[in-house]
Amino acid sequence: MEKGPPRLSDLKIVASRPSDLSKAWARYYDRLAARFVEQIDRRRFNVILEAGCGKGQLTIPLLRRLPRNVKMIAIDSSKGPYAGWLKELSQKLQTARLEKRVQPIKSDARRIRGIEDESVDIVVSNELLCDLPYDSQLEKALTEFYRILRPGGLMIHGEWSSSPAAEPQAFLVKHWPSWTPDQLFSIMRKNGFHDFRVTYFETTIHFGYENALEELQTWGATEKFLRHNDEMLKREGIELPYEHIVQCEK
């Protein structure tokens, strides 16, 4: 049967109540993992490295969709607001009985420890580049990705787009402004990558009032900000921005 374009209702995951939240995030990341696998297409690969894997939000659904013979290396610096996240990943992997398929490494993406030159087929990340907001930080990470990738290897990076999914929320997210695809194109090209492509992941989550408050707090919103926007949040909730996904080759 021919697959038509997705309906708008399929692209919006709704988390109205607190009890909807974890399921909504799981659906979101499962769809995102499906998109990453689609981008990999029919390439042959044995080793994939995820940089900034966090607590495995993408790692686990991605692993479930990858062939069993693929080895994943998951690196994260796991410090500051993210302290303990890598440990959480290890626990989740055990529970899901996936621990044999992943090697978690505590390491900064700007100086990747224990990974040899040209030993990785694919590097992926999600919401990592926004944590490397200066040219020099991003360039250091790109130099490392270039070093560990084999010639012809692929990189795929997803990031919340700097345009909101719904007005008037452009100002809400601490992560903004993220890198634009144009900026990424020029900096990745300068660092030796080619065949640059950008696509958009159109799935978003609509958070009802209580979930919106919780999400905004984790994104760094102040009490003053929350009080000031309380009426709007009650009326409209908030919507996660879309992601851009950039892809290029060594």
Q: Is the peptide bond before 6 cis (omega within 30 degrees of 0)?
A: no
Separation in Å, CA 74 to CA 6, 31, 131, 183:
31, 20, 17, 26
Q: Which part of the chain contacts ligand SAM (CB under 6 A), choosing from 120-128, 165-173, 200-208, 228-236?
A: 120-128
Nearer to ligand SAM, 85 or 207 (CB): 85
Q: Does 239 bind ligand SAM (CB under 6 A)?
A: no
Q: Does 128 bind ligand SAM (CB under 6 A)?
A: yes
**15, 72, 131, 216: which one binds ligand SAM (CB under 6 A):** 131
Nearer to ligand SAM, 184 or 236 (CB): 184
Q: Does 82 bind ligand SAM (CB under 6 A)?
A: yes
Nearer to ligand SAM, 130 or 232 (CB): 130
Check if the beta carbon of residue 52 is closer than 8 Å to that of residue 125: yes
In whole angstroms, how close is the CB of 10 to ligand SAM at the nearest point? 21
Q: Does 169 bind ligand SAM (CB under 6 A)?
A: no
Phi and psi at residue 123, to the nearest 5°: -110, 130
Separation in Å, CA 156 to CA 127, 129, 146, 197, 209:
11, 11, 13, 9, 33
- Residues 137 and 43: their CA atoms lie apart, in Å, by 30
Q: Does 203 bind ligand SAM (CB under 6 A)?
A: no
Exposed/middle/buried for 25, CB within 10 Å: 0-12, 13-18, 19+? middle
Q: Does 77 bind ligand SAM (CB under 6 A)?
A: yes
Helices (H) and strands (E) in the chain, counts: 9, 10
Helix (H) or strand (E) holding 217: helix 209-218
Both tokens of 124, joined, read 């992926």
Binding to ligand SAM by CB under 6 A, coded x per residue (else -) over 15-54, reads ------------------------------------xxxx
Nearer to ligand SAM, 30 or 232 (CB): 30
Q: Which part of the chain contacts ligand SAM (CB under 6 A), choosing from 71-79, 113-121, 148-156, 180-188?
A: 71-79
Nearer to ligand SAM, 187 or 232 (CB): 187
